Amino acid sequence: MQKIGGVYLTDKPMVLYIVSDSVGETAEQVAKAVIGQFDTRNYELRRFPFTTEKAQLQEVISEAKNENAIIVFTMVINGLREFLVEEAEKANVRTLDIMTPLLNLISKELNMKPKKEPGTIRRLDEKYFKKIEAIEFAVKYDDGKDPRGINKADIVLVGISRTSKTPLSMYLAHRNIKAANVPLVPEVAPPKELFNAPSEKIIGLTTNPRKLIEIRQERLKALGLKDGANYASMERILEELDYADKVMRKLNCPVIDVSTRAVEESASIILEIFKEKGYKVGSTK
């Protein structure tokens, strides 16, 4: 055994076969974590993903025997795990089951039977990353920052200031839905992308003017400004609501009054509208 640069190198590399009825990432990461505890680089990891047939397992066992390899595996499909262990034992091939001991322990603790479905971790990861992607999308295309988001969005929310556009966008993002929102201001023409987008994916938001005055006055106080500013005046609010109504009519989109509704309720109505239209949005499961 030689030591080069503080790392021991054996004459013959240790070979680990990573076998799984799914991708095999779990077993590979565990194997790497364990090997990392030793001062050696003289090893090989060979992954055999989606091994779901007994014939495939026989081939893996035969190859492992020829290379004196250790089989590290995660198998949840009924019958395959038992077959692998029995056949490997007959061939004098060493095996290590990464998943079953913990699976049995948790099953006993929860008094539940495991699903025995391969790839559940990956599906959960994909769902998680879709949610993160939708949240990042909502932040990037919030408040009309970039009109290009209108074409990329599953849902586009339009309305005047303080009509819950941002909270709704974030709530929908947690349902894996990419939502962009565009403010409607009389002095600023809406982006052309809004009128080129399918009306089926646009939702207008409106509110009661008296309720909006209260909300805007509170907003001004929070900013340390006087609550009598034009932003919170009835005249200004009626002007904005009238302008927004004209734009929404031109867009031919559904309009929801959010004045007495919680964000969750408004989001539920939006999703129901899309369901009735048959317009598919991101996974809401």
How many CB atoms lie under 10 A from the CB of residue 9? 14
More confident call, 112 vs 177: 177
* Beta-bridge partners for 9: 2
Q: What is the pLDDT of residue 187?
A: 96
Q: Which residues are annotated as a binding site for ADP?
A: 159-166
Q: Rounded to 5 degrees, what are φ and ψ at 190?
A: -60, 150
Q: For residue 48, which amino acid is it? A: F
Residues 231 and 159 in one domain: yes
Same domain membership, residue 87 and residue 134: no
Average model confidence (pLDDT) across the chain: 87
Dihedral of alpha carbons 142, 143, 148, 151, sign = positive
195 and 98 in a common domain: no
Closest by alpha carbon to 21, among 68, 59, 54? Answer: 54
Do residues 271 and 144 touch, judged by C-beta distance below 8 A? no
Q: Are residues 138 and 164 in the same domain?
A: yes
Which two tokens mark 122? 């990956």
- Give me the percent of the chain exceeding a pLDDT of 90: 58
Q: In a 3-state reduction of DSSP, which class is residue 232?
A: helix
Asked if pLDDT for residue 1 goes beyond 70, the answer is no
What gap in Å lies between CA 63 and CA 263, rounded to an integer?
59
Most confident of 20-34, 69-83, 90-104, 174-188: 174-188
Query: What's the number of domains the chain is made of?
Result: 2
* Structural domain harbouring 199: 126-277
Q: Does residue 8 form part of some domain?
A: no
Start-end of H helices in the chain: 25-35, 54-67, 80-90, 100-110, 120-140, 149-152, 165-173, 192-196, 209-222, 234-251, 263-277
Q: Name the pLDDT band for 112 (thresholds 50, 70, 90).
A: confident
Decide if pLDDT at 64 tops 50. Answer: yes
Whole-model pTM over 0.85 = no
**Residues placed in the known binding site:** 159-166
Q: Is residue 4 part of a domain?
A: no
Asked if pLDDT for residue 246 goes beyond 90, the answer is yes
65-94: pLDDT as tens digits: 999 999 999 888 878 889 999 999 999 999
Residue pair 156/180 in contact by the 8 Å Cβ criterion: yes
What are the pLDDT digits (tens) for 183-241?
Answer: 999 999 999 999 999 999 999 999 999 999 999 998 888 888 877 788 989 999 999 99
Are 57 and 148 in a shared domain? no
How do residues 152-164 score in pLDDT, each as one tens digit? Answer: 999 999 999 999 9
Residue 212: closest CA among 246, 188, 241, 169:
241
Residues 103 and 194 in one domain: no
